[in-house]
Amino acid sequence: MLEKRLVTERIGKIRPESITDYVDSGGYEALKKALKKTRIEVLEEIEDSRLRGRGGAGFPVAVKMMAMAKESQTPKYIVCNADEGEPGNFKDRYLMENDPHHILEGMLIAAYATMAGKGYIYIRGEYSKSLKMMRQAISEAEKKGFAGKSIFGKDFDFTFEIRSGAGSYVCGEEFSLLESIEGKPGHTRVKPPFPTEQGLFGYPTLINNIETFSTLPVIMEMSGKAYAKLGTKSSTGTKLISLSGNVKNKGVYEVPYGLPIRTVIEAFGGGVPEGRKIKMVQLGGACGPIIPEYMLDMIIDFERFEEFESKVGAGAIIVIDDRFDIFDILKHTAEFFSHESCGKCTPCREGNTHLKNIIDKFHRYEAREEDMNLLENLARVMHQTSLCGLGQTAPTAVISTLHYFRSAYLERIEKSFLEEGHDAKYQNQQSRA
């Protein structure tokens, strides 16, 4: 099988609401194994795995955890980012609703290694079932002694608290998320300092995605070096893919890094329905690049994607067939980011509005060559100067389509010119009559 189920190995085999099922299937054994090691040994296992963050940026997890472990200031916090507001991504919800204890176990391992005493799980407000499942899992873990005081009889205390978002996309960005937990508006912060130095309530904080935390028990069970043998040199292990759009079998699939995008679409997604052709694919979600069909043989790999000024992102693959106009997609994307900007920094606040207005001109067949040039310059400035990831990645779809689908822009400009010329000629004829 092409699928490699490590993080999702228990899903479908246990009842997610049952801690007994989880324990009987080997749950919390990875935590026990970690507690028998020194904190440094646990960090070394994670370093050996070469695990990179699964939330989008792909930052080396061990580097972040070691930075947190070195901080002497207390208390220390673990924050699990389960906001998942990126359109096209739904793998975190899949994990919360089908194997919640695996997430808690991963957070506990991270907490032990970094000497943190409390964890917050920040869950998207729309995920009512996920909220219910995680609350129940925490309650059961506390009753069994897997959370709270002296866990497994060790000098290790850790408690959980759930916070719910209120629908703001920008709260998926780590600093905005921290501000929200603190009860403030979801606006990003200027960095440095970074969260591992000065995060939640001003104390050292480790922030990771749900999939990242869920990978830590896997690493502890099989060892970091064994995990690093999976995938590719720059991207070890497996990745959860949220596959959606114009495919027969939408869903979440766990695949080893190094698998071609086309294989995921055809082998797991079953291809495009009714024999239609793939026109383009958006990677990572609304903030990701849009690539043409001929690039689908590119492997899923951090280093490979970076060669194309792209990112693996959170793992969304949105398939778009030949029925759709590229400017319809861009219009919806621009409207989304214009609405979701928190407004703190000028490049994002003003840039997204102007971006939307220019895309609207292309959509209405009113654009000129100078509009395309302005769009390109604006997108690059936003990408380079915005304060947080929202503004930096909001123009990614525009930048990628200007590169890979430039002919579509030029064709729209030409049609706009011809239509305007036809209208002007008709108006002159009417005025002479």
Q: DSSP string spanning 95-112?
A: HHHH-HHHHHHHHHHHHH
Tokens of 241: 């893919």
Do residues 385 and 347 make contact, with C-beta atoms less than 8 angstroms apart? yes
The pLDDT, as a whole number, for residue 211 is 97
For residue 246, the domain's CATH number is 3.10.20.600
Distance CA 269, CA 252 (A): 10
Residue 5 falls inside a structural domain: no
Q: What is residue 133's three-state secondary structure? A: helix
The pLDDT, as a whole number, for residue 120 is 98
Question: What are the two backbone dihedrals, phi and then psi, of residue 348, each rounded to the nearest 5 degrees?
Answer: -80, -45
Instruction: State whether 193 and 255 are in the same domain.
Output: no
The pLDDT, as a whole number, for residue 306 is 77
Contacts 24+ apart (CB under 8 A), 22-25: 22/99, 22/101, 22/102, 23/144
Tokens of 319: 């398939």
Instruction: State whether 133 and 44 are in the same domain.
Output: yes
Question: Among residues 286, 321, 356, which one ends one of the domains?
Answer: 321
For residue 337, the domain's CATH number is 1.20.1440.230
211, 188, 401: which is closest to 316 by C-alpha? 211
Question: Among residues 306, 321, 336, which one ends one of the domains?
Answer: 321
Distance CA 164, CA 123 (A): 5
Residue 1 falls inside a structural domain: no
Question: Among residues 283, 302, 321, which one ends one of the domains?
Answer: 321
The pLDDT, as a whole number, for residue 423 is 52
Instruction: State whether 143 and 269 are in the same domain.
Output: no
Amino acid sitting at position 375? L
Residue 424 falls inside a structural domain: no
Amino acid sitting at position 226? A
Instruction: State whether 266 and 411 are in the same domain.
Output: no
Residue 157 falls inside a structural domain: yes
Instruction: State whether 178 and 191 are in the same domain.
Output: yes
pLDDT tens for each residue of the chain, 433 residues long: 589 999 999 999 999 999 999 999 999 999 999 999 999 999 999 999 999 999 877 899 999 999 999 999 999 999 999 999 889 999 999 999 999 999 999 999 999 999 999 999 999 999 999 999 999 999 999 999 999 999 999 999 999 999 998 888 999 999 999 999 999 999 999 889 999 999 999 999 999 999 999 999 999 999 999 999 999 998 999 999 999 999 999 999 999 999 999 999 999 999 999 999 999 999 988 999 999 999 999 999 988 877 666 667 789 999 999 999 999 999 999 999 999 999 999 999 999 999 999 999 999 999 999 999 999 999 999 999 999 988 999 999 999 999 999 999 999 999 988 877 655 444 554 455 4
Question: What are the two backbone dihedrals, phi and then psi, of residue 88, each rounded to the nearest 5 degrees?
Answer: 100, -10
| Residue matched to tokens 């903030």 | 287
The pLDDT, as a whole number, for residue 311 is 65
For the chain, the domain total comes to: 3
Instruction: State whether 157 and 48 are in the same domain.
Output: yes
Instruction: State whether 159 and 200 are in the same domain.
Output: yes
**How many CB atoms lie under 10 A from the CB of residue 277?**
10
Residue 4 falls inside a structural domain: no
The pLDDT, as a whole number, for residue 430 is 47
Instruction: State whether 64 and 114 are in the same domain.
Output: yes
Pairing between β-strand 77-82 and β-strand 118-123 as defined by DSSP bridges: parallel
For residue 118, the domain's CATH number is 3.40.50.11540
163, 159, 177, 66: which is closest to 119 by C-alpha? 159
Instruction: State whether 343 and 314 are in the same domain.
Output: no
Residue 13 falls inside a structural domain: no
The pLDDT, as a whole number, for residue 58 is 86
Instruction: State whether 198 and 277 are in the same domain.
Output: no
Tokens of 366: 């009113």
Distance CA 332, CA 56 (A): 21
Residue 115 falls inside a structural domain: yes
Residue 152 falls inside a structural domain: yes
Instruction: State whether 316 and 333 are in the same domain.
Output: no
Instruction: State whether 266 and 330 are in the same domain.
Output: no
Residue ranges making up the domain that contains 305 = 238-321
The pLDDT, as a whole number, for residue 130 is 97
Query: Is pTM beyond 0.85 here?
Result: yes
